Amino acid sequence: MDESDSVIHDRPMISCNVLRCILDETNISDIKLDRLLATEDLSIADVYEFNGKLKLNSYLRLLDGLVTTMGDPLFGLKISKQMKPSLAGATGYIFLCSPTLEEGLIKFTKHIGSIQEVTSIKLETTESGLNFIYSIDDDSIYPRRQDVSFSIGYFYQMINLYLGDNFRPKEVHFEFESLQQISFYENFFNCDVFFDQFENFIAIDRKDLMRSNKKFDKDLIPILENYLRSETQYEIRPGSFTEYVSKIIQSTLTNGVVTLASVSIRIGITEAKVRQKLKSEGCSFKKLLLDQKIGLAKRLLIDTDNSILEIANRCGYSETASFSRAFSSLTTYTPRDYRKIILL
């Protein structure tokens, strides 16, 4: 295997089954589909290969391509309503067979890697219940809007299936801005929906978390989990300390200022020890923080209409001058020029 093959192999992947399920519910001609798949050097046979997988970046671009082909900027959200548990494979049925909604969500979170890599689903306990948070843990992976809309819509659909079509979230949050009147989203999710937020999540009331699915089958869960263990094609690789710190920075960056002190407290070791371990891997906290800030900035420049100052503030800069210098140091472009070039 040459170096280029290795690079391709290491790119994050997603199960072809996800794209298959979307295409099966999409009224698109074979000619248009062939043309769309060809943009990613794929064929219909590639997508319908049993246990096949494709690059996550390709999947995201194809979702955007479907938006253009179908002429509907809300395609990702609307098509999610047509999805069935089979989209998530065995993981979807493990969720539906769980004794309570909360246990089902925990199991779904545990097995998400069998469907899509570098994907993070976090369950954050709140005073009133739980936030089901969705994100992609790699800022080089984009465009994301359609994937986020589709994924949040799909999780909402799955919870509805579990509870029997009478689920009302406390609220839903999206990182990006609205593409339609707010009322459309509120009618879709049956709750208040907020945009331009720090995270993408569905807020679930505690009383719903304790509810059960009448079709719960405890005997089926170990069978399905054993199937996942034997069939999964995704190798779990131990990450480096640098990757670990990088993920902590990424997960906390949008919630406030990130410092070496705050990260060391989170890990449970001294600041000096963090510096030492990063240095032993040829990295530094300053570089990791800058990489994550600029990665977040790129995503916000692409996925939102936020002003440069708003993006600077979200990334931990108090004004645009220092933000522009930092951005240019890694990309050679100003934030404004980068947005223009990418969105051409």
239: which 2 tokens?
């990450």
pLDDT class for 30, splitting at 50, 70, 90? confident
Fold of 3-231: H-NOX domain (3.90.1520)
What residues are paired with 124 via a beta bridge?
131
pLDDT at 244 over 90: no
pLDDT at 6 over 60: no
pLDDT at 130 over 60: yes
Which carries the bigger pLDDT value, residue 20 or residue 115? 20
pLDDT at 239: 57
Tell me the pLDDT of the chain averaged across its residues.
87
Residue positions counted in the chain: 344
Q: How many CB atoms lie within 10 A of CB 321?
A: 10
Longest CA–CA span in the chain (Å) reads 60
pLDDT at 4 over 60: no
Which carries the bigger pLDDT value, residue 121 or residue 5? 121
Q: Where are the domains of the chain?
A: 3-231, 241-342
Fold of 241-342: Arc Repressor Mutant, subunit A (1.10.10)
Task: Quote the strand ranges of the chain, DSSP E.
Answer: 13-15, 53-55, 119-125, 129-136, 171-173, 192-194, 200-205
Q: What pLDDT digit, counting tens, does each position of 256-279 carry?
A: 678 998 888 777 778 888 899 899
What residues are paired with 201 via a beta bridge?
133, 173
Q: What pLDDT digit, counting tens, does each position of 82-102 carry?
A: 999 989 988 898 999 899 999
76: which 2 tokens?
């990702």
pLDDT at 40 over 60: yes
Q: Are 188 and 77 in contact (CB under 8 A)?
A: yes
pLDDT at 74: 96
C-alpha distances out from residue 314 to 11, 44, 146, 238, Å: 28, 41, 22, 31
Q: Are 6 and 42 in contact (CB under 8 A)?
A: no
pLDDT class for 344, splitting at 50, 70, 90? low
pLDDT at 303: 86
pLDDT class for 230, splitting at 50, 70, 90? low
Torsional sign, CA 171, 297, 324, 287: positive
Contact partners, residue 57, CB within 8 Å, separation at least 6:
11, 12, 141, 142
∠225-231-232 over CA atoms, to 5°?
Answer: 85
Place of tokens 């062939």: 34
pLDDT at 1 over 60: no
Q: How many CB atoms lie within 10 A of CB 218?
A: 9
Q: Are 40 and 58 in contact (CB under 8 A)?
A: yes
Place of tokens 């263990």: 229
d(CA 95, CA 108): 6
Taking phi over 0 as left and psi of -120 to 50 as alpha, with beta for the rest, 55 belongs to beta
DSSP 303-322: H----HHHHHHHTT-SSHHH
Q: What pLDDT digit, counting tens, does each position of 178-226 carry?
A: 998 999 999 999 999 999 999 999 999 999 999 998 777 778 888 887 7
What percent of the chain lies above the pLDDT cut of 90? 54
pLDDT at 10 over 70: no
pLDDT at 148 over 50: yes
d(CA 184, CA 153): 13
Burial class (CB within 10 angstroms; exposed 0-12, middle 13-18, buried 19+) of 176: buried
pLDDT at 120 over 50: yes
d(CA 88, CA 97): 14
Q: What pLDDT digit, counting tens, does each position of 287-331 carry?
A: 999 999 999 999 899 888 899 999 999 898 989 999 999 999 999
Contact partners, residue 202, CB within 8 Å, separation at least 6:
131, 132, 152, 155, 156, 159, 169, 172, 189
Cut 0.85: pTM above it: no
d(CA 15, CA 113): 10
pLDDT at 237 over 90: no
pLDDT at 243: 84
Place of tokens 């705050």: 262
What percent of the chain lies above the pLDDT cut of 70? 92
pLDDT class for 241, splitting at 50, 70, 90? confident
